[in-house]
Structure 1
Amino acid sequence: MKTMINGLGMLALATATMLTVSCKDADKNEAPVPMVNEMHQETITDSDDLTLNGSQNANLEAVLKDYFNLKDALVADDNTKAKDLGMTLTKSLGSFFASSYTDSQQSELKDIIFRAKEHAEHIGKSDIKHQREHFKMLSKDLTDLVAITGTNMKLYEQFCPMYDGGSAWLSMNEEVRNPYYGTSMLTCGKVQRVIN
């Protein structure tokens, strides 16, 4: 029995050590894998150029701008700003028009937009812990959105192995700024793929 308890204690210690080291040593030398039609990070102003290809909806620009600004508020641990930006993103998602896409793409986009709006609304009304939970699902929705619409922008899908079993988000910059842990683990994560 004592051997079993010692063995479990060693296993717990090894697991804790691996989790602690995983963000510090996470594939620093591994090059990101290029991938077409996906997205990610950084604050965007109205003057920033989000060049979209001709088949894309012009309203995608507003959605991406609001998503990146929301991500940055979470990176800065700014609950109040994230609430405001969640509501702003809800409005820009509501203005997204999918009429220039095929019928099957329109159906997929409608479902994605519906889910993304729900997550953005929750972010607009929640504490920062709950905002981050919804941001994880929102990030997946926006990655799916960009996979359908495409973009000429170079975006980075970044990944944190520590948050909720592993969580991704999108960024415009290669440098990792973690929205799930903010200032407590700012650089935890890696670029897992490049979009475009």
Structure 2
Amino acid sequence: MKNLALIPLLFVLIACQSKKNETEKSYMVENTELSAAKTEKEDLKFKSTGIQTIYSAYASLRDALVETDFETAKKYAQQLSIALESESKMQEAGIASNIFSAGEIEIARRHFYELNEGMEAILEGNIESGKINKCYCPMALDNKGASWFSTKDEINNPYFGDKMLKCGVIKKTLE
């Protein structure tokens, strides 16, 4: 009978060990993803830390929109607004603030389109090393089309997320 009482304890120990292994695997995946993101950003250098900060917040915002993660997008839109203000890019800072205060992700994506209208002027001529692709989706915004910027050669569409993740082309490369 004493051995039967140990069976539930054995199940608990096995379950805890399994959970520990899952947590360790998750931590390893997160660190690998962070390392990949860091490497991508290390390949791209700007002439000023202000523009580097702007692009870093921009890229995080874009990636959150790709993932259709509205709360994270709002967080990075706020960071981007602050970075743009510090570089006296007031029009773009206002648009980033609009993304932060948008009530839903589709409205945030429309403001993201407006933001991209001014981003090329901010980025062009300020790249010290690396490249940024200007990507374009002809179907975004009710088939009006919209652009975004990415260091990747792979299309990840922030206007549609996983609905049409690969819709788009690279139109131009900034170096």
Q: Fold-level match, TM-score > 0.5? A: yes
Match for 2:115: what amino acid? L
- Segments of 5+ residues of structure 2 without an aligned counterpart are 1-35
Q: Distance in 2 between matches of 1:186 and 1:169?
A: 13
Contact 2:95 2:114 in 1 (8 A): yes
Match for 2:78: what amino acid? M
Corresponding residue of 1:130: 107
Report the TM-score when normalising by structure 1: 0.64
Q: CA deviation at 1:150?
A: 4.1
In structure 1, the residue corresponding to 2:136 is in which secondary structure?
strand
Corresponding residue of 2:137: 160
Matched, 1:118 2:121: no
Q: Which has the higher helix share?
A: 2
Matched, 1:48 2:58: no
Match for 2:51: what amino acid? L
Corresponding residue of 1:139: 116
Corresponding residue of 1:60: 51
Corresponding residue of 1:38: none
- Equivalences for residues 1-196 of structure 1 within 5 A: 44-45=37-38, 48-49=41-42, 50-52=44-46, 56-96=47-87, 110=88, 113-126=89-102, 127-164=104-141, 165-196=144-175
C-alpha distance 181-47 of structure 1, shift in aligned 2 (>3 A):
closer
Match for 1:166: what amino acid? G
Q: Distance in 2 between matches of 1:188 and 1:83?
A: 24
Match for 1:81: what amino acid? T
Q: CA deviation at 1:153?
A: 2.2
Q: Which has the larger radius of gyration?
A: 2
Corresponding residue of 1:32: none
CA deviations on 1:61-85 (whole Å, 9 max, x unpaired) are 0000000000000000011111111
Contact 2:140 2:146 in 1 (8 A): yes
Identity %: 26
Q: CA deviation at 1:136?
A: 0.7
Q: CA RMSD in A?
A: 2.0
Q: Distance in 2 between matches of 1:117 and 1:179?
A: 19
Runs of 4+ in 1 over 6 A off after TM superposition: none
Greater RCO structure (CA 8 Å; 6+ sep): 1
Corresponding residue of 2:25: none
CA deviations on 1:4-62 (whole Å, 9 max, x unpaired) are xxxxxxxxxxxxxxxxxxxxxxxxxxxxxxxxxxxxxxx9559932322xxx3321100
What is the aligned length? Answer: 136
